[in-house]
Structure 1
Amino acid sequence: MANTTVRGAQAIHGQNPQFLVETVIRNRIYEAPFWKEHCFALTAESLIDKAIEVKAIGGVYGNNKPTEFMCLLLKLLQIQPEKEILLEYLQADEFKYLRALAAMYIRMTFGAAEVYEILEPLLKDYRKIRLRNMGGYSLTFMDDFVDSLLHEERVCDIILPRITKRDVLEDNGEIGPRKSRLLDAMEGKVEKDRSRSPSGSRSQSRSRSPSRGRGVSRSKSGPPSDAGSRYVSRSPSGSRGGSKSPYRSRSRSVSPDRINGGSERFRSRSRSISPDRMETTPG
């Protein structure tokens, strides 16, 4: 009686849920000591305690001996817990092997659209988990395990039921586009690059250029006398500018009056002899 499916269980993919496990492996599980000692009369609640004690995932090892993970998976197929209970298994972040067990069961029993919607968020889980197979133990990651459930045909020595590809479901409108953290990060990086691109700097420079032009025009739009007086010809000129310039001509400009006055001075200084003196001088 311990190997029979619970009463009222629904057929999965048109058959008994236990038949999803191959006959050879299923018979090995029935003969395993762990199945006989620890999996008898388990319920959806008591199975959590056993799943917490699991140390690795996998199918069979050694001489085709089933792992504890595979025994608990077959027990889930027997008792067929409700969907809400399975979602609670997945939300238990501290128990990674319980999450892996629930993910494996959901992949084997749920429809294609629900599988993608429920398991794809688990691709963000990067924790390490142990994998036990014929070659011994090895390390893998939770996201790799979930990705293999979504894309590979055989996981943990179990042939998985076929599901419709995601792109087909998207074309039929049964599921929305996938939300990828990597794609979101790349889009955010592209937006940052666009904001830092030369086009953005050009637009900023164009927006700032009128103010700069105004400042230059204001500085140059001063009184013309100042600008012209800064550069005054140093050659002598007859007239000075109308405004006082900071750079005055160093050459002294002489007016015509001064020139005439100066000649008269020099003329007055020269000794002039009157006609009387010229006549009185002795011959």
Structure 2
Amino acid sequence: MLTTVALNTWEWDPSLFSGSAAYYTRGRLAYPKTLADALAAELHLDGSGRLLDVGCGPGSLTLPLAALFEQAIGLDADRDMIDEAGRLAAQAGISNTRWLCLRGEDLPAGLGSFRLISFAQSFHWMDRPRVAAAVRGMLDPAGACVHVHATTHQGAEGGDALPHPRPPHSSIAELVRSHLGPVRRAGRSLLPQGTVAGEADIYRAAGFTGPRRIEVPGRVVTRVTDDIVAAVFSLSSSAPHLFGERRAEFEAELRRLLHSASPSGVFSERTREIAIDIWRP
């Protein structure tokens, strides 16, 4: 049963990303190495201390940062995401990671203290004041909390020439609406106004100072049809389970749309700039 809720009363439920984990790594644009390099330079990361990545998904940020710490812990409420993160860590031979199926609201959860705590495209799904207060108390005296502002399911719109056609994102969004309705889906609920913003006020109210912002420029990437399909299914607003018995029908329509936009099945995108806000306790 769907429930329409106001933004300030929306509640997480376990179906939010149900079925998305298998699509996430392929569908989301990977964080570039320059992001890890920028954080390492700014925070003097040298392989010591511990990282906690809250709302880690399949380790999208945890894994690129793991080598900068003695131990990296990824925490996510979705069991499939945690299982996928563990699989990817093993596949990459990264052995200093630990994966926990917990919500941010469960912190501090006896996990101890950390040199760095990160949120990457995850903070808006949480009880932000509660989680911010918890993580501030979990930081080492000289530690930091980083909030990564990024859009990884699609690139930026623009009229500049690229090697291949851009994916038809507006048409994809319209196709999703034709199947799921005009109001954004989110688990068992609807988000008529989208996800919340204003995280700076939340961090300050929790006692953080800052932020110090660093930015990572965008880049041009090549994607294929399967990448774009995976990107759609990686989103909470178009997670596979939302389509029910019409999932195969939706995917067939999506692939026809993508073929019309690029018969070769190859697309180009310019990724968006990534902004990283560094907050100090």
TM-score normalized with structure 1 length = 0.24
Structure that is richer in helix per residue? 1
Structure that is richer in strand per residue? 2
Higher radius of gyration, 1 or 2: 1
